[in-house]
Structure 1
């Protein structure tokens, strides 16, 4: 390459780069891979200068589009990062057999914070009566609900964790709920953390379930109930923070679990006016920002598939055949990584087609021991 051609090329590239740079400072260039560095060392100086200028121009062109500054688009890693911590309680079921009836009782250990990489317990949450916990999917922000004693009102707390998994802040929300004789059986936080949904069930025979929603900003509680005997044992928010997916169990039937979709903006306060979901479901998880939820298909034999349902129609959208048994629990805040339980009670994350085990604490010996988990 002659010096005159090289000079003209350098001048042209410099002028083009200057014209783009006038729109704003360029974003930092991504670090090259190791193989790129080896090849780069063998280039001649003139070609290296021209290539660097072309790369700079392309990078700034991505950062500025239609005159509006845009955030540089980062290349997604092969697998999304697992939220750093999860909150769990170790539950042990005991079967009691008498002459007339066989019953199962559960012992629930205090809630604790666990490191997703090591399974090490990093912190303990305050011990409350009927305690329930919900997370925002980032592995650092959680809501805790419960009572200090059996006859005390229900309190809500927002908890944030430090980088090493300790409790960095615990803020008591101003609103209380005069929940004294009922049980608190489920808690769910909306993706933006501005609404808390929870289920309330009476302890009396023929108990009737109720769903309540706390607006954290307005400090108001709305209630939905039904006169039919039954109880709500699971709730989760759909991505629009308006629709609640809940599970209602009929008392009069051994197999009567129904999944329904409650539009919390509707005027009706009848819990069972909520739209039923077509199909048999088990535990479910809703993707943040989406209009569907995912569940393990109930019934059948073998490894159950995962089924995605529309939160608008209640109809199934698609089925996914699984190679391993996996029960969904909660999505992370990005909606890419799904926390779930695998056969045998272990924890795992599902990212696309990749199923990876998550470290968990060693469980004690018992008839049936498992984790109640959220992140």
Structure 2
């Protein structure tokens, strides 16, 4: 069993445990990972609908809101905020390595960034499955402010990983999103960081929601929805968070979470919507092989119009179940068995030999 399958097994187990007795049999492996042999081709649905934002069809391109302080390309962001053993640490990302600084006060579980290289959000446990959120800013030389609590209290949500690993910040820094399960049902919660207001979307039945990601329009929330039924199919969805309603499945399907084709084949474990509004970047788990059911992993670019792969895939050394882009969309963080790496210009490099990282963002 791969690390991805182990983590998703735990996520489904946590969701099942939270439901009333008899309402759902415990699951050990997500449906999309066991409902058919890897050797059987899966036809990808054709003619997927164009992405629609704000009620206007835009040919699949998500409008890009220009943020003047977005991080530039080049060598990528100068600093990373990492979570190591529950402590938030600002580290220099200059060159190919990380330079550790003193940890910030407080205990944290996750970090999300807006992509401007300065604004970060931290999540810390507030008891059980409840999480509180904090804002952190960096000066030009990487000096951090003290984390400031956000208004609005806490969010109670079981992400399946024991922390809000599915945490994402909108590019303009006004909203946070966290996805998981509540009462055994898939749920997405968006927090207005200025007012503390919460808005919640829920899907009927059981299953999971993972991989929260904001589009550059600051209103479209992407995620992967996996039904509990073995006959169901995991899909990448796009939710217009400005529209009325609370049905998570009112979101539009971008594509199935399985890819078959000449460019790349496998399962989409996690994805991010890129700042250009035209593409997404996904981590793909390839077919199992060998005596120990090993699998290959790659980072691939998808079209935001129909979800089809574009360009070549970048091989990864292992399963990260993790990808975070910088503000330019040219540099991507990876976290593989607790060890950080990055993908730039079509190549993967390790950032550190240490393997005690829980989360990181730039």
Describe the SS at the equivalent of 1:228. coil
In structure 2, C-alpha distance between the alignment counterparts of 1:354 and 1:322, rounded to whole Å: 6
In structure 2, C-alpha distance between the alignment counterparts of 1:274 and 1:155, rounded to whole Å: 27
Displacement, 1:352?
2.4
Structure 2 matches for 1:63-142, cutoff 5 A?
80-90=74-84, 109-117=86-94, 118-128=97-107, 131-142=109-120
Displacement, 1:110?
3.7
Aligned partner of 1:291 in structure 2 is 278
Displacement, 1:239?
1.6
Aligned partner of 2:172 in structure 1 is 192
Describe the SS at the equivalent of 2:223. strand
Deviations 1:307-361 (A, max 9, x none): 33344x443151413355476611111222222246x764333332344432x36
Structure 2 matches for 1:8-23, cutoff 5 A?
none
Deviations 1:133-185 (A, max 9, x none): 2012344321113344449x643221013456443243322222463888744
Q: How many residues align?
A: 268
Aligned partner of 2:221 in structure 1 is 244
In structure 2, C-alpha distance between the alignment counterparts of 1:178 and 1:303, rounded to whole Å: 36
Where do 5+ consecutive residues of structure 2 fail to align?
A: 1-71, 259-267, 289-294
Of the candidates 110, 123, 146, which is equivalent to residue 124 of structure 2?
A: 146
Displacement, 1:298?
3.4
Contact 1:283 1:296 in 2 (8 A): yes
Q: Which has the higher contact order (CA 8 A, sep 6+)?
A: 2
Say whether 1:335 aligns with 2:322. Answer: no
In structure 2, C-alpha distance between the alignment counterparts of 1:256 and 1:114, rounded to whole Å: 40
In structure 1, C-alpha distance between the alignment counterparts of 2:158 and 2:347, rounded to whole Å: 45
Describe the SS at the equivalent of 2:275. coil
User: Whose helix proportion is higher, 1 or 2?
Assistant: 1
- Provide closer, same or farther for how the CA distance between residues 181 and 347 of structure 1 changes in structure 2, counting only shifts above 3 A: closer
In structure 2, C-alpha distance between the alignment counterparts of 1:225 and 1:282, rounded to whole Å: 21
Describe the SS at the equivalent of 2:75. coil
Displacement, 1:190?
0.8
Of the candidates 315, 322, 325, which is equivalent to residue 307 of structure 2?
A: 315
Aligned partner of 2:343 in structure 1 is 350
Deviations 1:290-315 (A, max 9, x none): 2331102333367445433344x443
- Provide closer, same or farther for how the CA distance between residues 356 and 241 of structure 1 changes in structure 2, counting only shifts above 3 A: same
Contact 2:179 2:210 in 1 (8 A): yes
- Provide closer, same or farther for how the CA distance between residues 254 and 172 of structure 1 changes in structure 2, counting only shifts above 3 A: farther
Contact 2:301 2:313 in 1 (8 A): no
Displacement, 1:234?
2.1
Name the Cα RMSD after superposition: 3.5
Displacement, 1:196?
1.1
Where do 5+ consecutive residues of structure 1 fail to align?
A: 1-76, 91-107, 365-369
Question: What is the TM-score when the length of structure 1 is the normalising length?
Answer: 0.60
- Provide closer, same or farther for how the CA distance between residues 123 and 285 of structure 1 changes in structure 2, counting only shifts above 3 A: farther
Structure 2 matches for 1:174-189, cutoff 5 A?
174-177=151-154, 179=156, 184-189=164-169
